[in-house]
């Protein structure tokens, strides 16, 4: 209550920059900001208020803190392929791959579905409380999943699917959006570094899980990773800095309908929905595919680590390329490459082909995912709408992730007909690329530039 009173007092005494902003709109000089994709010469007073210390020490502390949070939350979620393999063959073998996959899809979808709530809390200034709540729920649910008994599906889906999914959902949108409050000129680079935490987490946790579960058992093995997650979340939350100017500026009343009058935003929503329906197939099923096709078991257990480790390179390099070539130009290449590499999984028949596909998919899909958030921010005309726009987009795209793994598992069946889910996933990902093409054409015409 005291925090709320202080915020209201600050809002009441802080002058709105509206008059200065209005007067600057009369300037004839125009400059396109790559971070927002619109004329910032008209927004200079507002930009000065929103980015008073663009990329200072507090900003880089936030990048490191975000890296730790994403390493231990989203990185862990991306390691579900280990659980999918272990549950299908050992721990929950009475259940179909599609039924087991609901746990993974919930973990992946809830961060997006909760985005509209987390995004609004973010814009309202409740950043730290939202992230602490998400951290507690995620860590608690992870430790509870270590208590699941073999064969008890409902225990696993409640703790690992629902509980961990809700926790990471409260962390995902604030972790992505808070970086944008500290950076304008080097936003893509900052995003790339911060989001690489999820890739490295998805390298570390599959290796840890594949080693500790056979040696210590399921319960003790999961608890080992739980302590790592708990430590990273605690340090990450302490490092993340909430800019004072974000709390001082009053969030404008949002007209949600206005979002959907933006054709570029609509093309993005459709493309993102389709991409999330298919692009994550290797994250869930690649280890199981490798084991089923008698690829060296040791290498198969490392397939997710290889894939996600390559994603770290893709996230950083992709964002650097976007600085020179344009976010959406790089995005187009990445989404079409991701779709093609899902089809390439059918060609995996030995260790060499597994490594090649894993590395290429990891790099290209990692760049695509990292640039998705930076690209979405670039579609936002008003920086104070970033949280809401990100949240709405994530919520609308979430059914793609929720249905992806179960649909793929249903197509796979207990007889493991791999062509069906691979064809489905690869095709819808390529269709997402078509939507991104339409959006890119519209943006290029609006800006009068091919570098978009």
Structural domain spans, the chain: 54-241, 256-451
Check residue 247 and give its pLDDT. 57
| pLDDT value, residue 313 | 86
- What average pLDDT does range 57-63 have in this prediction? 86
* pLDDT of the residue at 281: 94
**pLDDT on residue 302:** 87
pLDDT at 245: 62
Mean pLDDT across the stretch 4-23? Answer: 39
pLDDT at 7: 42
Q: In this predicted structure, what is the pLDDT of residue 412?
A: 92
As its CATH architecture, domain 54-241 has Up-down Bundle (1.20)
Whether 39 shows a pLDDT value over 60: the answer reads no
Q: Does the structure show a pLDDT above 70 at 443?
A: yes
Q: Which of 225, 246, 275, 195 has its CA nearest to residue 53? A: 246
pLDDT at 35 exceeding the cut of 80: no
- The model's pTM is 0.74
Instruction: Name the pLDDT band for 32 (thresholds 50, 70, 90).
Output: very low
112 or 44: whose pLDDT is higher? 112
**Backbone dihedral region for residue 163 (phi beyond 0: left; psi -120 to 50: alpha; all else: beta):** alpha
State yes or no: pLDDT of 298 exceeds 50: yes
Query: Can 54-241 and 256-451 be said to share one CATH topology?
Result: yes
CA–centroid distance for 362 within its chain: 14
Q: Encoding tokens for residue 434?
A: 């078509």
In which band, very low, low, confident or very high, does the pLDDT at 436 lie, cut at 50, 70 and 90? very high
Q: Does residue 62 register a pLDDT over 50?
A: yes
Q: Which residue has the higher pLDDT, 297 or 252?
A: 297
Over residues 183-191, the mean pLDDT reads 74
Confidence bin at 14 (pLDDT 50/70/90):
very low
Mean pLDDT of the 73-100 span: 90
Which of the four pLDDT bands, split at 50, 70 and 90, describes residue 254? low
Architecture of domain 256-451: Up-down Bundle (1.20)
Q: What residues contact residue 90 under an 8 Å CB cut-off, 6+ apart?
A: none
Bigger pLDDT: 250 vs 452: 452
User: Mean pLDDT across the stretch 413-435?
Assistant: 95
pLDDT bucket at 279, cuts 50 / 70 / 90: very high
Query: Which one of 1-10, 32-41, 98-107 scores highest in mean pLDDT?
Result: 98-107
Average pLDDT taken over every residue of the chain: 82
Residues in the chain: 452
pLDDT bucket at 308, cuts 50 / 70 / 90: confident
In the chain, % of residues over pLDDT 90: 45
């Amino acid at each position: 209550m005291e925090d709320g009173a202080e915020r209201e007092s600050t809002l009441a005494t802080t002058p709105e920059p509206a008059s200065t902003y209005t007067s600057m709109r009369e300037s004839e000089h125009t400059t396109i900001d790559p971070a927002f994709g619109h004329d910032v010469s008209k927004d200079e007073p507002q930009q000065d208020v929103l980015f008073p210390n663009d990329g200072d020490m507090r900003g880089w502390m936030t990048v490191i803190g975000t890296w730790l949070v994403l390493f231990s939350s989203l990185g862990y979620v991306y390691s579900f392929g280990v659980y999918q393999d272990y549950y299908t063959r050992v721990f929950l073998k009475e259940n179909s791959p599609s039924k087991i996959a609901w746990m993974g899809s919930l973990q992946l979808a809830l961060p997006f579905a909760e985005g509209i709530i987390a995004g609004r809390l973010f814009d309202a200034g409740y950043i730290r409380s939202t992230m602490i709540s998400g951290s507690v729920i995620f860590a608690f649910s992870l430790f509870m999943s270590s208590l699941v008994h073999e064969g008890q599906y409902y225990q696993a889906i409640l703790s690992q699917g629902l509980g961990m999914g809700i926790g990471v959902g409260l962390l995902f949108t604030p972790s992505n959006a808070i970086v944008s409050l500290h950076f304008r000129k080097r936003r893509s680079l900052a995003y790339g570094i911060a989001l690489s935490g999820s890739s490295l987490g998805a390298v570390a946790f599959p290796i840890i899980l594949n080693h500790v579960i056979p040696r210590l058992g399921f319960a003790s093995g999961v608890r080992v990773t739980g302590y790592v997650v708990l430590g990273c979340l605690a340090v990450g939350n302490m490092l993340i800095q909430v800019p004072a100017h974000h709390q001082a500026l009053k969030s404008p009343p949002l007209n949600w309908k206005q979002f959907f009058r933006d054709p570029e935003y609509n093309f993005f929503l459709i493309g993102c929905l389709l991409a999330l329906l298919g692009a994550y197939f290797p994250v869930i099923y690649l280890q199981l595919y490798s084991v089923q096709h008698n690829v060296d078991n040791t290498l198969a257990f490392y397939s997710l680590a290889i894939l996600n480790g390559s994603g770290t390179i893709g996230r950083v390099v992709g964002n650097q390329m976007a600085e020179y070539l344009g976010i959406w130009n790089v995005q187009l290449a990445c989404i079409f490459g991701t779709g093609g590499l899902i089809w390439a999984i059918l060609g995996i028949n030995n260790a060499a082909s597994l490594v090649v596909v894993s590395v290429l998919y990891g790099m290209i899909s990692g760049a695509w995912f990292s640039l998705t958030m930076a690209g979405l921010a670039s579609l936002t005309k008003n920086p104070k709408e970033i949280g809401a726009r990100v949240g709405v987009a994530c919520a609308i795209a979430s059914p793609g992730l929720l249905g992806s793994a179960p649909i793929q598992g249903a197509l796979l069946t207990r007889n493991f007909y791999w062509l069906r889910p691979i064809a489905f996933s690869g095709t819808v990902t390529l269709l997402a690329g078509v939507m991104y093409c339409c959006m890119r054409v519209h943006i290029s015409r609006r800006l009068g530039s091919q570098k978009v």
